[in-house]
Amino acid sequence: MGDMTPSERLAANAATEGGFDRDTTYVEDRITADAPPGGPTGERVGQMVWPVEPGRYRLVAARACPWAHRAVIVRRLLGLEEIISLGLAHPLHGEPSWNFDLDEGGVDPVLGIHRLREAYEARIPDYPRGITVPALVDVPTGQLVTNDFPQITLDLSTEWREHHRDGAPELYPEALRPEIDEISRWIYTEVNNGVYRAGFAADQEHYDEAYDRLWAALDRLEEHLATRRYLVGEQITEADVRLYPTLVRFDPVYHGHFKCNRSTLREMPVLSAYLRDLFQTPGFGDSTDFEQIKQHYYGVHHEVNPTGVVPQGPDMGWLLEPHGREALGGTPFGRGSAPGPVPAGERVPAEHTPLPVG
Greatest C-alpha distance within the chain: 60
Give the residue among 48, 51, 47 at the shortest CA–CA distance from 34.
Answer: 51
∠ CA 173-178-180, nearest 5°, is: 65
C-alpha 138/C-alpha 27 separation (Å) is 14
Q: How far, in whole angstroms, is CA 62 from its chain's centroid?
A: 10
C-alpha 218/C-alpha 247 separation (Å) is 10
What residues act catalytically?
65, 196
Give the residue among 136, 123, 231, 250 at the shortest CA–CA distance from 183.
Answer: 231
98 is in an annotated binding site: yes
Give the residue among 164, 161, 206 at the shortest CA–CA distance from 76.
Answer: 164
∠ CA 174-242-274, nearest 5°, is: 100
Cα distances from 257 to residues 10, 158, 260, 330, in angstroms, run 26, 37, 8, 35
- Report DSSP state, residue 112: -
| Residue pair 25/102 in contact by the 8 Å Cβ criterion | no
Cis peptide before 54 (omega within 30 of 0): no
| Residue pair 234/329 in contact by the 8 Å Cβ criterion | yes
C-alpha 272/C-alpha 283 separation (Å) is 18
Q: Please, what is the angle between helix 238-249 and helix 149-158, to 10°?
A: 140
C-alpha 20/C-alpha 38 separation (Å) is 41
Burial of 36 (0-12, 13-18, 19+ CB in 10 A): exposed
C-alpha 329/C-alpha 178 separation (Å) is 22
Query: Residues marked as binding?
Result: 98
Residue numbers belonging to the annotated binding site for glutathione? 98
